[in-house]
Amino acid sequence: MYLVTIGEGSAVWEKFGHNSLWFQDTAAQVDEAYNWGTFDFRTPGFAWRFVTGETQYWVDMYPDGRRMIDFYIQYDRTVVVQRLNLTPEQARAALAFARNNALDANKYYRYDYFLDNCSTRIRDLIDLATGGALKAATASTTGRRSFRSESVRLTDDLGLAQFGITAALGRPADKPITLWEDAFVPMRLRDMIRDVRVTVDGRLQPIVAEEREFYTTKNQAEREDVPSFWLIPLVIGFFIAIDFIGVGLIGERHRAVDIAFRSEVAVWAFVSGLLGAAILFAWLFTKHTFWTANQNLLVVNPLSLWLAPLALMSLRNPRWLRPAAIVAVLVALCSALALVLHGIPGWGQNNAAVLALAVPPNLAMAFGLWRRSTATG
């Protein structure tokens, strides 16, 4: 029985790696590989199920493990194969479980990127085969990693994906995870089992009997540390804020520039409010456990959806300027609260990039609208 670990690919869903179990016994004429990470974008309703947390994956069996390995090699993905130190009875039990799991009646499951994916299913099967030894050795060891930090680390060269992960995940994603939980990443499971020992024939032995790297990628590189990527969002956020302040001040004396200012405010408010509404929907109406308790709602605030039309309506009728200013100030105060929470250990979440992008424009927007509302009485 072999654990086959495939490294990062170029597509966003390949950044987290992949793995499978390979059962090979020449004498028994067994050569079967099992992959719990099969999905199809063309499945009807795939996008909606992904959004609501109802994504359906399934297990597939490949009748030739070496052909499966060659498939990933041709796409320049690192392949490491580890022979597991199991008794024949343990290996046969694991194979029987995999075969039963691959039956049409059992193969489908609701996929969860962190809690129930291709790697956690293999982790659980190895643990089952070893009589719980894997979980016993790893479930009580907690490090500094979290589901968010691992996701950001693995998408290092995809800035928009990193920002999306930071925006979508709430505080539960920042909880320090155990080695057992970190095995949702196939490469972490590969590394983790190197240090685990199991009882074989009455003796305590390493669970990995042999390891071989079949192929090393030429173009992909898995980052080891967690990148800090708030600087670019901060530059963008300050640029928008400076524009709001500059155009807003000039617009106090020139009608055409004032129209431009309030239009810019409306666009920013609509976009940020729409993102906030999506985050709120995910929290309340989907099964994405780690999209809950999201403090990003304080900075990409659904209240901004009211501000967008109020800002435009105030151009035609000045009586809408004061309500627009009040909403803008509320959004700014919520942004300030998010910034304070972020600085209090144990209270905030790791959302520096979202804060850097959204807080400066929110404050500048409130400044410009409030000056106008007080000037006009």
Bridge partners, 33 (sequence order):
22, 62
**Beta strand spans in the chain (E):** 2-6, 18-25, 30-38, 56-62, 79-84, 108-110, 197-200, 203-206, 208-215
Chain segment 341-361, per-residue pLDDT in tens: 999 998 999 999 999 999 999
376 has a pLDDT exceeding 70: no
Q: Which own/partner pairs from 47-54 qualify as long-range (CB within 8 Å, at least 24 positions apart)?
A: 51/282, 51/286, 52/285, 52/286, 52/287, 52/288, 53/110, 53/112, 53/286, 53/287, 53/288, 53/289, 54/110, 54/287
Residue 80: predicted pLDDT: 98
Chain segment 266-283, per-residue pLDDT in tens: 999 999 999 999 999 999
Tell me the mean pLDDT in the region 65-86: 95
Residue 225: predicted pLDDT: 92
Closest CA to 16 of 132, 109, 127, 155: 155
Higher pLDDT, 201 or 6: 6
Q: How confident is the model at residue 169 (pLDDT cuts 50, 70, 90)?
A: very high
* Per-position DSSP letters for 104-146, written without gaps between them: TTTSEEE-BTTTBSHHHHHHHHHHHHTTTHHHHHHTT-B-S--
Tell me the mean pLDDT in the region 34-61: 92
Chain segment 228-267, per-residue pLDDT in tens: 899 999 999 999 999 999 999 999 999 999 999 999 999 9
Phi and psi dihedrals of 99, rounded to 5? -60, -40
200 has a pLDDT exceeding 80: no
Lowest pLDDT segment from 13-17, 74-78, 106-110, 139-143: 139-143
Higher pLDDT, 187 or 374: 187
Residue in this structure with the two tokens 């293999």, named with its chain if needed: 122
Tell me the mean pLDDT in the region 141-150: 94
Closest CA to 326 of 311, 312, 313: 311
171 has a pLDDT exceeding 60: yes
Tell me the mean pLDDT in the region 292-316: 96
Q: How confident is the model at residue 198 (pLDDT cuts 50, 70, 90)?
A: confident
Residue 281: predicted pLDDT: 96
On whether the CB atoms of residues 182 and 188 are closer than 8 A, the answer is yes
Spatial CB neighbours of 90, under 8 Å, sequence gap ≥ 6:
1, 129, 130
18 has a pLDDT exceeding 90: yes
377 has a pLDDT exceeding 60: no
Spatial CB neighbours of 161, under 8 Å, sequence gap ≥ 6:
12, 15, 155
Chain segment 78-105, per-residue pLDDT in tens: 999 999 999 899 999 999 999 999 999 9
Q: How confident is the model at residue 214 (pLDDT cuts 50, 70, 90)?
A: very high
Instruction: Kindly list the distances between the CA atom of residue 49 and the CA atoms of 36, 56, 234, 278, in Å, as whole numbers in the listed order.
Output: 18, 8, 33, 15
Share of the chain above pLDDT 70, in %: 99
